[in-house]
Amino acid sequence: MTERIVLAYSGGLDTSVAIGWIGEATGAEVIAVAVDVGQGGESLETIRQRALGCGAVEAYVADASDEFANEYCMPTLKANALYQGHYPLVSAISRPVIVKHLVKAAREFGATTVAHGCTGKGNDQVRFEVGIQTLGPDLKCIAPVRDLALTRDKAIAFAEEKGLPIETTKKNPYSIDQNVWGRAVETGYLEDIWNAPTKDIYDYTAAPEFPPAPDEVTISFEAGVPVAIDGVKVTPLQAIKELNRRAGAQGVGRIDVVEDRLVGIKSREIYEAPGAMALITAHKHLEDITVEREQARFKATVGQRWSELVYDGQWFSPLKRSLDAFIEDTQKHVSGDIRMTLHGGQAVVNGRRSETSLYDFDLATYDTGDTFDQSMARGFIELWGMSAKVASGRDIRVAGK
Ligand code: ARG
């Protein structure tokens, strides 16, 4: 029986050519799998037809947009995950859900190998292959760009020679990856890290310099998950989409960073994640009133570690799973409403309320009705500083010898 290979298919030039390229190099049949993670753009049926036109024996489309929002974006929100303090893991969280569907398709179509269009320099090859190794340890991986010398020039020549139904003349100088959680743009002019991004780079956000009137939004959460916007019930996917639209119109969520790739390269990327950044901001502020101090402090370090693991392609790893359990436990009381103003590139929280709040007006107030006994503070401070005071006494004594 002819060997079968499942290919992660985007509909773009590289993966379209990869269908025939893999076929010629290996003699295998190629099954194209396109996964909808809310990337928008062309219809998936158009993409499916293109795969067949490029020689795929089967083309399969998986609608994973709700699954992606519920099982990938929501954990990222609960973790307030920002890799290196900036990047909300847009591409990093889409790879594991794509992997799930690739492995499922490999089983369904009897494939032995999974292929993807990544280069040998990035994080995504790692995320795909570590994920595949974990979910389908018997499956092999192949990356035509990396393993079968499929360069851009060769791809264009191949597409023209074979008359593939794909545009080869439209020159996009950027490498773009997008889904409902955000959009990532790199290469070309951006590789000079002194160059400011130009206007044409952005798609999810309008220029924050010329914002429309401020937009006030109330986001309601239950156990860390957005459940309503301005009182209207929403699913996680709807919440992200609605905030992409409203925060995007105000230019919220533009990020320009040089980040540390897992392979040791520092690389520059421009992100736009209006919905994700508005949600993370709101969620963090709700945690500020509902999560106990020590738990909150510890959670910040857990969230950072979680972000690194996910960035580094360890979505399906045991440690990531254990950290998920911790984060989930912290979210029990993260319920309530956050009011924020979206304007001129900023999402600013200006009101919060929660039935499960730890904010105690009577303890906090400086007005009459104060229930905090200030006389307790003196003794507390005395003991709190004791250890450092004893040490400093020793230091003075030793220095004086
Ligand atoms: N640097 C980001 C990451 O590793 C995004 C990678 C994909 N970016 C792109 N523009 N194609 O998660």
- To test the pocket of ligand 1, the residue of 186, 189, 193 to mutate (highest count of ligand atoms within 8 Å of its CB) is 186
- To test the pocket of ligand 1, the residue of 10, 13, 91, 255 to mutate (highest count of ligand atoms within 8 Å of its CB) is 91
Average pLDDT over residues 295-303: 98
Residue among 4, 48, 50, 95 flagged as catalytic: 95
Q: Which two tokens stand for residue 392?
A: 């400093």
Q: Which two tokens stand for residue 217?
A: 């939004």
Measured from the CB, is residue 186 less than 6 Å from ligand 1?
Answer: yes
Side chain identity at residue 4, one-letter code: R
- 39 burial via Cβ count (<10 Å: 0-12, 13-18, 19+): buried
Whole-number Å distance, alpha carbon 109 to ligand 1 midpoint, is: 29
pLDDT tens by residue, 229-286: 999 999 999 999 999 999 999 999 999 999 999 999 999 999 999 999 999 999 999 9
Measured from the CB, is residue 91 less than 6 Å from ligand 1?
Answer: yes
Side chain identity at residue 198, one-letter code: T
Measured from the CB, is residue 176 less than 6 Å from ligand 1?
Answer: yes
| Cα separation, 132 vs 4, whole angstroms | 16
Residue among 10, 14, 65, 127 flagged as catalytic: 14
Is residue 354 part of the annotated active site? The answer reads no
Is residue 146 part of the annotated active site? The answer reads no
Measured from the CB, is residue 184 less than 6 Å from ligand 1?
Answer: yes
pTM: 0.98
Distance of alpha carbon 114 from its chain centroid, rounded?
Answer: 23
Nearest CA residue ID for atom 6, ligand 1: 91
Residue 169: per-residue pLDDT: 83
| Strand 336-343 with 346-353, pairing | antiparallel
Whole-number Å distance, alpha carbon 5 to ligand 1 midpoint, is: 25
Of 254, 71, 18, which is closest to residue 6 (Cα–Cα)?
18
Confidence grade of residue 173 (pLDDT, cut at 50, 70, 90): confident
Average pLDDT over residues 155-180: 92
51, 19 in Cβ contact below 8 A? yes
Is residue 329 part of the annotated active site? The answer reads no
Confidence grade of residue 65 (pLDDT, cut at 50, 70, 90): very high
Average pLDDT over residues 64-78: 98
Whole-number Å distance, alpha carbon 179 to ligand 1 midpoint, is: 12
Asked whether residue 135 carries a pLDDT value surpassing 90, the answer given is yes
pLDDT tens by residue, 211-230: 999 999 999 999 999 999 99
Is residue 175 part of the annotated active site? The answer reads yes
Residues 6+ apart with CB under 8 A from 257: 84, 86, 87, 268, 269, 271
Asked whether residue 171 carries a pLDDT value surpassing 80, the answer given is no
Residue 347: per-residue pLDDT: 98
| Cα separation, 120 vs 45, whole angstroms | 30
Measured from the CB, is residue 92 less than 6 Å from ligand 1?
Answer: yes
| Cα separation, 30 vs 113, whole angstroms | 10
Walk me through the domains of the chain, giving residue ranges and CATH numbers. Answer: 4-171 (3.40.50.620), 176-291+333-353 (3.90.1260.10), 365-399 (1.20.5)
